[in-house]
Structure 1
Amino acid sequence: MSAVLDRPPPRAGLRAAAAPIAAAVVVAVLLRVPFLFTGLSTDEGGYAYVARQWARGDLLYSDVWLDRPQGLLLTYRALLAIDESGWAIRLGVVLAGAILTVAVAAIGWGLAGRAAGVVAAWLYAVVGVAPHLEGMTLNGELLASVPSTVSIALAVLWWRRGRSLWWLAGAGVLAGVALTMKQSGIDGVLVGLLVLVLARRGKPVPVFLAGVALPLLASALHGLAVGWSAYWTALVGYQLSALGGSGSNASTRWTDLGRQAGDIALGVVPVLLVSLLGWRVLDRGARRLLGVWLFAGFIGINLGGSYWPHYFVQPLPALVVLAAVAVIGVRAGWRRWALAAVATVPTLVWLAALVPMSPGGRADTIPYDALAARDDRIAAVIRASTGPDDRIYVLESEAYLYFAADREASYPYLWGKPIDKIPDALPRLRAMLASPQRPVLVVLDTPPAAVDPSGGIAADLAAYYHPETTVEGVPILRANP
């Protein structure tokens, strides 16, 4: 079937759509504002810690380590410059929701007409909260989705609406920026290249590719400045080396996917079911574009390697656009409302259920809120029993504690996955615990045997540490004199 297009003269169409899209943006903001003051996730806390240490003068990828590109950390630095507490980080979620709502509206409008754009805006305003996919956290996938989706919107408007080459140049720059947010943020690049093919115009190709290259070149130059080997290893090298090993083989991936399958299904299936009906409405070019966009999201999910629920935030904008096309593709009004309800009601019900809950029940329901509150209490004990220059170590993945306690980590790998994948990570951890410069405190958020089944870490802790206290059931050890 040909595309359902509803194209009045551009100015008249823009005026007609501006109010409902603006209203959707307001709804997107209002639905995300309550999460400004809920607890940060482990990833958010770790990113914030690394960004803060970088701002204090530590050398990125050497003094302080993270397997993420600089764009993500620059974003965190900018947000922490507003305020050093967690709410400023969640302000990024609110802004991302507003920007993505407008971007999917532009894409839906460009591919299938004004009505599709308006519906896409309203769907994303709600569906993008994605409580089961941690959509209210400032994860790398959400940060990459913002520039990549805006990039796709600019490319679509250049292709379908005859905009100037500056729009395509902007699409290229933002596609490159997405890759500096997370390595899997390839959506904008692949879709932009497809748009160039569909447009059948060769001259604009260098414009787009030059735009993509700019942020990547800036990141690479910074990588050279901090040490190319360390930079490459953090962003690419250690993951490549781990392929096929126990930390990154097919069995581990299937186990990780199975563990998270319930939350992934709750977050993805409703909008996916509606989106399946959208293909028949689009024209051939639009189908190809959305197909490549979804394929890019699938590649991005698999590049991550662990199948955490927040990985599936990446394909949500494409699914929402396709679902919006499905909604406008049915004639009966009640069917349109029914399809929109299938996509949005699960999220709305989850949000509504929070209102009558007790504070404790709400904290247990909102991802990471109760855990962050626990960590805040542990962090208060750490601050009271250490000096500002003392180093600590959290075994093995509760990176938020470094940020909350405002204490420096004595070990570069803040999460467990790098320990599983980097050959010298475990020996380096044991050497750190036995060193004269060992951390003042070790927080046993994870049992030592789960990290080192050989018993080596447990033996090191017994030899060089003694119990100091237990907070919220988490033992804290102090280094022996």
Structure 2
Amino acid sequence: MRAAVSEAWNSLEADPRRSLAVALSLGVLLRIPFLSAPLQPDEGGFLMVARQWTADGSALYGDQWVDRPPLLIVIFRLAATLGGDPVTLRILALLFGAATVVAAWWAGRVINGPRGALAAAVVAAAISSSYKLDGFALTGEAIAVAMVMTSCALTLDATYSSRTSRQAVVLALGSGILAAMAFLVKQSFVDAGLFAFVLLSMAVPRSWRVFGAGAVGVALPLVVTAAWAGSDAGPGLVKLWNAVFRFRQRAFEVMQNATDTAPQDRLNLLVQLFVTTGLILLSLQLFAALRRRAENPPALRPALLVMFAYSVAAVLVGGSWWSHYLLQLGPVLALGTASATRRPLPRLGPRVTAAAVALASIWACVTGVRDVANAQLVGTTDEIVGLYLRDASKPGDSVVLAYGRASVIETSGLSTPYKYSWSLPVRARDSHLTTLVATLSGDSAPTWLVEIGEFDWWGLDNAAFRQVRASGYHVVATVCEHDVYLRDGLVRSLPPTPSCP
């Protein structure tokens, strides 16, 4: 058995194109069962923001405020234009995943020829498509990872494989552009920029033209974004800066002071996933490979160490610790696996770890099919509540969910007059519910108010909010343990209360 597996792996290493095809096929097969899976909360939320985004809104993106850079919302605007259904989003996620695999294969080939290409591509496919890490979904992490991986491949090619100085300059320019684009999808993704900075500044011989081209590449998307933000069509530089950077400090303070156990539970799960998905094996392999200085180009070792240290720190400092945060480790671990193939002995190590991670993702896919089948049969809670609101509403109705669940708004098809549709911005920017109370009592008061969880979560409920509820709204249904309120004076034909999972 071992001999057969080794022979099959050797044959793939001997045929680089076939090795790429196998890695791409692995990534596609791991995603196919989830093409029509219900939208994830952030997917639905970002779609909702993208659909209503206009230049004349009062908040960061139209009339909605979200702490994400604009390129992410642009991509979801594209998804909305293409249909905005789960299959459309899954196909876009698949395309970004395929780009990640191709870039990993390319980077691995620069590091150690066909052997490095196969190992890196298999690892990238397994991690980026892992069901346990929400790899099938169109998340900011999945999009940014594709850009980081491609940027790293361009940087490596510019440093070690370019035949001419002009070619190296063009590759470095592209690398810088993609590094900045990853940052403009999610602001914690500066991995590619750090990798390029260390690699290009320590490479021998050092080329300042290549280094400068990379810097220009980084600057271009940032300048374009700043120009848009400062124009009449943008929200203003101050609003963008506050949302993308200053808000993170306040959000971190809020999360640190939270008394609920959900964040700690997610951190515990994150640690478990780090082990069960095989990421811990890849991390140990990375350090083992980089201990042997003579077997790697001098600049590659510090570049990978800095990139790994930053990626781990970014995952941990994120504070919310959702499982898809671990996708950020994918590019550096794929590069580390390629680096490990340079070791003369044991050659078997990278093969075993790559295969182990692939098997872990395959098993996660098998077990995940059952979960998704149940969700499609019964529906998720968010989907059920959203569909109930859609069926109960009339044209022109609007809704507010306290406190946040943007995906429900997207499913309902309703608009919302309240600009904070995620719980964290409510807690950080409207902790006294001043804006919420003003919205519920103002001229644009929503038709519907939905209690997501409990009004007193995080201690937010207060006298003013209770008063506006009591004087303006009444409960008309309870859907999946969520109370649904209708504004006083309005009458709606209510559908039967649905069953819940």
**TM-score interval (norm. to shorter):** 0.7 to 0.9
Quickly say closer, same or farther: Cα 1:50–1:123, change in 2 above 3 A.
same
The match for 2:367 is 353
Quickly say closer, same or farther: Cα 1:45–1:273, change in 2 above 3 A.
same
Q: State whether structure 2 residue 67 is matched by structure 1 residue 43.
A: no
Match of 1:476 among 481, 484, 491: 484
Match of 1:197 among 198, 201, 221: 201
The answer as to whether partners of 1:132 and 1:264 remain within 8 angstroms in 2 is no
Amino acid at match of 2:266: Q
Q: Distance in 1 between matches of 2:380 and 2:475?
A: 23
Quickly say closer, same or farther: Cα 1:91–1:167, change in 2 above 3 A.
same
Unaligned runs of 5+ in 2: 1-11, 291-295, 490-501
The match for 1:434 is 441
The match for 1:28 is 27
The answer as to whether partners of 1:253 and 1:306 remain within 8 angstroms in 2 is no
Unaligned runs of 5+ in 1: 1-12
Q: How does 1:449-460 map to 2 (within 5 A)?
A: 449-456=456-463, 457-460=465-468
The match for 2:287 is 279
Q: Distance in 1 between matches of 2:273 and 2:331?
A: 13
The match for 1:3 is none
Q: State whether structure 2 residue 241 is matched by structure 1 residue 232.
A: yes
User: In the TM superposition, what is the alpha-carbon distance from 1:51 to its structure 2 partner?
Assistant: 0.7
Report Cα offsets for 1:114-148 as digits up to 9, x if no partner.
20211111122223223232222211122111112
Q: Distance in 2 between matches of 1:459 and 1:451?
A: 19
Quickly say closer, same or farther: Cα 1:105–1:99, change in 2 above 3 A.
same
Please report the RMSD computed on the Cα atoms of aligned residues, expressed in angstroms.
Answer: 2.8
Match of 1:209 among 215, 225, 231: 215
Q: Distance in 2 between matches of 1:252 and 1:331?
A: 49
The match for 2:184 is 180
Q: Distance in 2 between matches of 1:461 and 1:407?
A: 20
Q: Distance in 1 between matches of 2:157 and 2:378?
A: 43
SS at match of 2:68: coil
Report Cα offsets for 1:341-362 as digits up to 9, x if no partner.
432332222222345x4xxx44
The answer as to whether partners of 1:253 and 1:307 remain within 8 angstroms in 2 is no
User: In the TM superposition, what is the alpha-carbon distance from 1:183 to its structure 2 partner?
Assistant: 0.7
Q: State whether structure 2 residue 118 is matched by structure 1 residue 112.
A: no
TM-score (norm 1): 0.87
Match of 2:392 among 363, 367, 385: 385
Amino acid at match of 1:310: H
User: In the TM superposition, what is the alpha-carbon distance from 1:74 to its structure 2 partner?
Assistant: 1.0
Q: Distance in 2 between matches of 1:218 and 1:33?
A: 36
SS at match of 2:84: coil
User: In the TM superposition, what is the alpha-carbon distance from 1:363 to its structure 2 partner?
Assistant: 4.5
The answer as to whether partners of 1:110 and 1:161 remain within 8 angstroms in 2 is yes
Quickly say closer, same or farther: Cα 1:363–1:475, change in 2 above 3 A.
farther
Higher mean alpha-carbon deviation, 192-201 vs 59-68, is at 59-68
Quickly say closer, same or farther: Cα 1:351–1:241, change in 2 above 3 A.
closer
Report Cα offsets for 1:178-229 as digits up to 9, x if no partner.
1110111101211111122122222323211111111111111221122233
User: In the TM superposition, what is the alpha-carbon distance from 1:277 to its structure 2 partner?
Assistant: 2.3
Report Cα offsets for 1:280-325 as digits up to 9, x if no partner.
4352422212112212313432553322222221112212332354
Q: How does 1:50-89 map to 2 (within 5 A)?
A: 50-54=49-53, 58=57, 61=60, 63-89=63-89
Q: Distance in 2 between matches of 1:427 and 1:126?
A: 46
User: In the TM superposition, what is the alpha-carbon distance from 1:104 to its structure 2 partner?
Assistant: 1.4
Higher mean alpha-carbon deviation, 455-464 vs 251-260, is at 251-260
The answer as to whether partners of 2:274 and 2:326 remain within 8 angstroms in 1 is yes
Amino acid at match of 1:174: L
Q: Distance in 1 between matches of 2:408 and 2:36?
A: 17
Residue-pair matches, total: 459
Q: How does 1:319-334 map to 2 (within 5 A)?
A: 319-326=333-340, 329=343, 331=345
Q: Distance in 2 between matches of 1:182 and 1:294?
A: 17
Q: Distance in 2 between matches of 1:465 and 1:407?
A: 18
The answer as to whether partners of 1:441 and 1:477 remain within 8 angstroms in 2 is yes
Q: Distance in 2 between matches of 1:92 and 1:31?
A: 15
Q: How does 1:407-446 map to 2 (within 5 A)?
A: 407-422=414-429, 426-446=433-453
Q: Distance in 2 between matches of 1:329 and 1:130?
A: 28
The answer as to whether partners of 2:13 and 2:19 remain within 8 angstroms in 1 is no
